[in-house]
Chain A
Amino acid sequence: MTLPFHLQIVNLLAALLLLISFAMLSQRRIVGLVTLFAWQGLALAVSTGLVGWVTGQHHLYYSAGITLILKVIVMPWIFYALVKKLDVDRDVEPMINIPTTMLIGIALVIFAFNLALPISQLAGTVTRSTLGIALACVLLAFLMMITRSKAIPQVIGFLAMENGLFFAATSATYGMPLVVELGVALDVLVGVFVLGIFFFQIRETFDSLDLKHMEKLRER
């Protein structure tokens, strides 16, 4: 059975999304990470728009637009500016070495597909087959947050997780109500601003953005 052409495109974009997640896991430099994040946002925006066009769900266009503006233009720009200002674009040494991380990532993807199987059978959307990919993106982004010790990659991981969730919502139920999406988008933006302020404060206190210095803050 061959899928219609546009759904094949959606599936391709989903695969791209997963690929970019793996690329982010293996990327050592922060600027590269930001670029990959922007590409991921672009893939997400295009696939959302496409799903909206295929299914006639016009509110998905707005979602796609917000994603495009926030995650492809505004946030990467903020991050570039931050990296430049804080001068932190050096090699990021992950806590677990990269091949191991990738292996764990593969296990997570298998787990996510296994998990998504019953859910996608329940969902009545044309894009249900991509739900596993969306879950895998969430878990991989989480893994990235765990393995990085610098502050900025962690925030990018957090945002990538949000991307995965967004994609999951689109593929399972054609997206959340617009009000919710607007709220989430605003939250993410505010979150990035707040975290940006924190970066400055952390660096001022520890002369570094390496979070291992924060171990001092424990009680004993």
Chain B
Amino acid sequence: MTDAIPVDPGFTPLVGAWWIVLLWLVLAFAGLALQRHPRLITHLLLPLGALGALGIALTGAAGLFAPAASLVLPIGLPDLPFHLRLDALSAFFLILLGGATFGVTVYAVGYLRHLESGPLALLSLWYHLFLAGMAMVMLADDAYAFMVAWELMALSSYFLVTTDHDRPDIRRAGFLYLLIAHVGAVSLLLCFGVLQGGGLIQAYSFDSIRAAELSPFWSSAAFLLALFGFGAKAGLVPLHVWLPEAHPAAPSPVSALMSGVMLKTAIYGLLRVSFDLIDVQASWWGILVLGLGLITALYGVIFAAVQSDMKRLLAWSSIENIGVILVGVGLTMIFHTDGKDALAALALTATLYHSINHAFFKGLLFIGTGAVLHATGTRLMGELGGVMRFMPWTAWLTLIGALAIAGLPPLNGFVSEWLLLQAFLLSPGLTQPYLNMVIPIAAASIALAAALAAYVMVKFFGVVFLGQPRDPNLKNGHEACWPQRIGMGWLALGCILLGLMPAQVIGWIAPTVQMLIGQTLHNDGGWLLLAPVDANRASYAPLIFFLVVLAVLLLTFMVVRRLYHGRIRRADPWDCGYPEQDARMQDSAEGFGQPIRQIFEAFMRVERETPDPFDRHPRYRGDSRDNIWLLCYAPIARLVAWLSDQGGRLQHGRIQWYLVYSFATLIFLLVFTR
């Protein structure tokens, strides 16, 4: 495939994107130089970084409708330069990156300004390197540049996760993250090696990979390696164990980026490898991804429901959303191999739509949580409550995110989940009868996951923001500062606009779908109405829906106000049998998750501390842990420890023995290599 135009000396979107990557790199090291001026870092470097994010979103938007452009950079190893390429797939994910990063970085200006200058400079260094790494992953056009960018992203985020490295649990979380990230990276490296087709190393460029002819066995092997490698980054069950540990450990803006954007780089990679580099070849690939995605979605949402730490809850919810996105990817593959490209386009549109939605609402929720954490100093939902009283801005903006992630119209989460369910509902007609039977079950599971996600959000918002403060000190909390509000406002605005204008958004997704599937989603409804495939089947007009809801609300309000005005009074009547109601009587986070825990107890390991009956200040602690750790990882860890013990026996501490080892090796080689 040589549709890439030769290097254009002019200012193309690709050159612009590369300049912004350079800007981030410069900002990263400028932060180190300005270590003594923390004000400059927060008030100059971070806003510049945010502008860069906006710029990269714009270059993505410009590149979306332009033909694919490529660029060869004079960096890298001799004879192995970096290749960059901006096509519709990269462009879409650059928009996602830039859009979410702008809001989060503006928020970070307010969030980080209380840090001391040393940690602040380091944080700024890793933060900007992280941004540059993610953008490079999306722009890379050869396996070498891709892996370098991938590692830059993994390492910088490792250092971001371990910002508070004086705490042992955070160091442990960071190590787990680094370990699984590298196991995944090794798998990716092998995948690219397989993709070369066993031929000579041709600079590892993606063009030569596209041209390589692979036998079905090797392309399946490459796909499985890619699924493992990208799955480890995305948090695919059972490779998800690092995610609920590492995401909460990082500072909130970083958690927002890791959950919102970094997980999407894995989705990007999976799409790039399985649709662009090797076109999907067997339908079982799709079934595998669909199955794993379903398990991930359900597993994630069940564990999100039983968490009592806000950020951990959101991290588990990210696992659920990644599962939903992977279900979309799997469905796309099934339809694509079955020759139903119109449906594949629908499923892929839903997948990409959900990816960008998740970037916005999960970013919003994480930074909203960060504002609460900053104001109150705790992440435990058991110590929060009633936060809305003194943090109205944060509460209302977070509410938008919570409604969006719960999939309520007219916000964005609804649109993508609705599209995905449409893809499921249109699926009868596949040529494989077994699939026809299984797919309705998958659709039901997705609906279940969506409903449970709503339950999780009720719990999250209700316990943290509503009710009465569970800790008297909470009343000293303060509202988020202006940059924080603007950052949250930007992401909330994104959630609203993505929800209200689906027909336009689908038009923006279309070039990417066209590139991967060769066909776009046919919207039967015009600009106001979203009607995938056929207007007679199902359609959705969020703007009308929103206006009607608004009108009904206003009308009701007016009527009530007119009829009852002046007759409202505040009084303590009988107190409804609660003369001494206090904060401890509210439903707690553990209590809210209890039904789910009861039902799904087989999946988890519950640690409980029940208080003594005579305790004057009783405390209840219940922690539900992941069983996969015990089932999968602990045996592997024991095996590795045993093997290294055996290896350790070689170490005697006697130089003579070491010399004997090398002597024996020498003799052996001399004898056997003659």
Contacts and interface: CB of A to CB of B under 8 A. Distances in A.
A146 interface: yes
B655 interface: yes
Contact of A219 (B648, B654, B663): B648
Contacts of B660: 146
Nearest to B659: A146
Residue in B651, B653, B663, B670 with the greatest tally of chain A CB atoms within 10 Å: B653
A145 B674 contact: no
Given A118-B674, A146-B659, A146-B660, A214 B653 contact: yes
A26 interface: no
A145 B667 CA distance: 15
A118 to B, nearest CB: 7
A211 B658 CA distance: 12
B663 A142 contact: yes
A146 B653 contact: no
A145 B663 CA distance: 10
Interface residues of A, number: 21
Interface in B137-188: none
A214 B659 CA distance: 14
Given A115-B674, A146-B663, A217 B653 contact: yes
B656 A142 contact: no
Given A111-B667, A142-B666, A218 B656 contact: no
B652 interface: yes
A50 interface: no
Interface in A189-220: 211-212, 214-220
A214 B656 contact: no
A215 B657 CA distance: 11
Nearest to A143: B663
Contacts of A145: 656, 659
Given A145-B659, A146-B659, A146-B663, A218 B653 contact: yes
A77 B655 CA distance: 26
B207 to A, nearest CB: 43
Given A115-B670, A118-B674, A146-B663, A219 B651 contact: yes
Interface string B633-674: 000000000000000100111111001100100110010001
Interface string A140-155: 0011011111000010
Given A146-B660, A219-B648, A220-B648, A214 B666 contact: no
A122 interface: no
Contacts of B656: 95, 145-149, 211
Contact of B655 (A214, A216, A220): A214
Count class of interface residues, chain B = 10 to 19
B651 A218 contact: yes
A145 B653 CA distance: 15
A96 to B, nearest CB: 10
A217 B653 CA distance: 6
Contact of B659 (A142, A216, A219): A142
A216 B674 contact: no
A147 to B, nearest CB: 7
A214 B652 CA distance: 10
Contacts of B659: 142, 145-146
A220 B656 CA distance: 18
Interface in A79-136: 95, 111, 115, 118
A111 B652 CA distance: 29
A95 to B, nearest CB: 6
Contacts of A143: 663
Contacts of B655: 154, 211, 214
Contacts of A218: 651-653
A145 B657 CA distance: 10
Contacts of B663: 142-143, 146
Interface of B: 648, 651-656, 659-660, 663, 666-667, 670, 674
27 contacts: A95-B656, A111-B667, A111-B670, A115-B670, A115-B674, A118-B674, A142-B659, A142-B663, A145-B659, A146-B656, A146-B659, A146-B660, A146-B663, A147-B656, A148-B656, A154-B655, A211-B654, A212-B654, A214-B653, A214-B655, A215-B652, A217-B653, A218-B651, A218-B652, A218-B653, A219-B651, A220-B648
Ranked nearest first, the 10 interchain pairs of A and B with the lowest CB-CB distance are A218-B653, A215-B653, A146-B659, A211-B655, A145-B659, A218-B651, A146-B656, A142-B663, A217-B653, A146-B660
